[in-house]
Each structure stands twice: as C-alpha cells, then as structure tokens.
Chain A
Amino acid sequence: MSEFIGDWHALLILLVAGILPNGVWRMLGLWIGGGVEEDAEILVWVRAVATAILAGVITQILIVPPGALASVPIAIRFGAAAAGFAAFLGLRQSVLAGVAAGEAVILAGKYFLG
C-alpha cells in the first residue's frame, strides 16, 4: 500500500473500529424503516427517541468534551449552548445565529479563562 492510505493494518482498524460499528445502526434502521409507512403512528415515537438520543449526545459532548474543548470551563460550555439557544429562538429560529452566538461565548471563555 502507498503512504497515502497507510498499511493494511490501519485499514483493517478503520473497518473494524470505525466503519462497521458506526454503519451497523444505519443498516438496522434500513431493515426496520424500509417496511414502515410514512404516516405510521410508531414514527412519532421513533422521531421522539431519535431527538432524545441526539439530546443525550449533545449533552455528553458538553459534559465530557473531546480534545481542546475540555480546556474551556464547563460553565462556559453550557453557558454558550444556552446563549446560542436564546439567539436561535430570538432570531426566527436561525441555526446560524445560534451557532455564532454560542461560538462567541466559547471563544471569549477560552480567551479569558482557558
């Protein structure tokens, strides 16, 4: 193999530790969702669970953040998410406004406290 990709060992790790454990959930979703009609009542529950799982993923990243984000105090991380949410709601549900406001708080926190 070339240097561009790396050796077979690295590729095997990508497959076994990355692609398969991630993709298996999509294929399980395909197997289940492929047979459901769009107006099925169960999809209301599935959407609620998907939303709540995402909420958990978001909260987990804020509590135990990866890499350099951990250098910003936890109060600032949650404060940034809350400030961004206020901007999101205040500016006609603009995702961009929410992200910009949240980032501003994170970066200010990193600059002054990190």
Chain B
Amino acid sequence: MFALGLRSIVTSVLTYVLFATFIGIGALAHDTGFSLGWALLGSALIWAGPAQVILMSSLHSGATVIQAALAVTVTAVRLMPMVVSLLPMMKTPKTKYYHLILPAHFTAVTFWVEGFRLFPKVPREQRIIFANGLGTGFVSVCLIATTIGYQTAAQLPPIFGVAVLALTPLTFLYSTALNARQTADKLALVLGVALYPAVATLKTGVDILISGLVAGTIAYGVHVVRERRR
C-alpha cells in the first residue's frame, strides 16, 4: 500500500508542477547564497513552497530571523485547517496521534488536493500507510528537483524564474477550485479572493487569517441557511 501511494504521484499532474516549482526553489537557494544541503533540508522539513521562497528571499534581503519567522508563519496558517480537514479521512478507532504525525507533516496544497481525490479509493485502515507513500513520493520528487535547480541555477534563463514563480498562485488556484465540490467551498474561494485585497489595506500582519476566517465563515453560513431551507 505504501508502494501504491508512492506510485500514485506518476498519475498526478501536480507532481510535474511541484517538480518545476522546486527547480525554482533550488535555483533561488543557489542565487541567495544558501548551501545545497540547507536547501534540501528546507525542502524536506519545511515542505511548503511559499514559506521556503519567503524564508530565503527575506533573509537574503537582510530581514532579521524574527522578521523572517513571522513572514513564514503567516503563510503557513493555511496548513492548520488543511490538516484538520484531511486527517479525519485517515483515522480509524485504533489510530493513535503519533500515527498521524507524518501525514500531518506531508500536508501541503498538493497533498491536500490529491488526498481528497485518492483516499476514498483506498480502504480506510490502509489510508495512513498509503498517505505516507504518497507524501514520500512528493517529497522525493522535490528533493531531486531542488538539487537540479541548485546545480543548474546559473544556466537558467531569467524568464524561467518568472514562469516558475507564477506556477504557485496558478496551481493553488485551480487545484483549490477542483477541490471545491461543495457550494460552501466554491463560495469560500470566490469570497476569499474578493475579500483579501480589502482586508490587506488594514495591514494587520494577519490579513490572510482575518480574510480567510471571515470569508470561510460567511460561506459556511450560506451553506447552513441553504440546508435548512431544504
């Protein structure tokens, strides 16, 4: 079942997007003066593209460790509700918390989207091991890509950097849209995009969290009202 999870990455379009994104992350590590080993540890243990990009670019531009940590943690808030909504799909009454540590670590946009798509096809008691195979596959691809990007950074044309940086918002947008099957999710996506620019003018430092909570709660409220009318 671990091997089946590992093999599932081949059939996922998102694997190829991850590969290109992490070539960009490897190249960024090279260009901002970090070592290859440092970049690989980051890809394996941070395992979140936006956080890695912000960590390297903010440290490189002279931010303090605390400023960089705050910028990283703001982008990482999204991971919490993703983990909360994904883990219950893998649990059985016998599951212990420590069984879920690795799947929680693997949770990022790609894993979240592919988890919702693939877990229902796997018997419940085998989903954790399947998830660990899937996550191991994604991380391995990204470690290879980080290395290739790091080693070839000098030869990559500048336009490649633009293309790779554009991959993250585009992929996040369409995979989230794909994952939004219920009306509440679709509405949350639209409201989240619409509300963020307004909330961002407040410059609270946690604008993403505020707009996400407000937009998500409104979307849920609409869902509740519609259910009651049925």
Contact = CB atoms under 8 A, between A and B. Distances in A.
Q: Which secondary structure dominates where chain B touches chain A?
A: helix
Contact of B72 (A17, A31, A60, A71): A17
B4 interface: no
Interface residues of A, number: 78
Contacts of A32: 80, 84
B77 A103 contact: no
Interface in B84-110: 84-89, 91, 97, 100-101, 104-105, 107, 109
A84 B176 CA distance: 13
Nearest to B64: A17
Interface in B49-76: 50-55, 57, 59, 65-66, 68-70, 72-73, 75-76
A22 B56 CA distance: 14
Contacts, number: 323
B133 interface: no
B3 interface: no
A16 B83 CA distance: 22
A55 to B, nearest CB: 3
Interface string A45-62: 111111111111111111
A45 B37 CA distance: 40
A11 B101 CA distance: 23
B41 A51 contact: no
A63 to B, nearest CB: 7
Contact of A30 (B28, B97, B214): B97
A28 B77 CA distance: 10
A61 to B, nearest CB: 4
Interface in B152-185: 158-159, 161-163, 165-180, 182, 184-185
A82 B170 CA distance: 10
A53 B216 contact: yes
Contacts of B87: 29-30, 33-34, 36
B196 interface: yes
Interface in A1-55: 2-6, 10-11, 13-14, 16-34, 36-38, 40, 43-55
Contact of B161 (A49, A63, A68, A103): A68
A56 B211 contact: yes
Contacts of B166: 69, 72, 77, 80, 102-103, 106
5 contacts: A19-B45, A32-B80, A45-B216, A110-B159, A114-B162
Interface of B: 13-14, 17, 28, 34-38, 41-42, 45-48, 50-55, 57, 59, 65-66, 68-70, 72-73, 75-89, 91, 97, 100-101, 104-105, 107, 109, 112, 158-159, 161-163, 165-180, 182, 184-185, 187-193, 195-197, 199-200, 207-209, 211-217, 219-220, 223
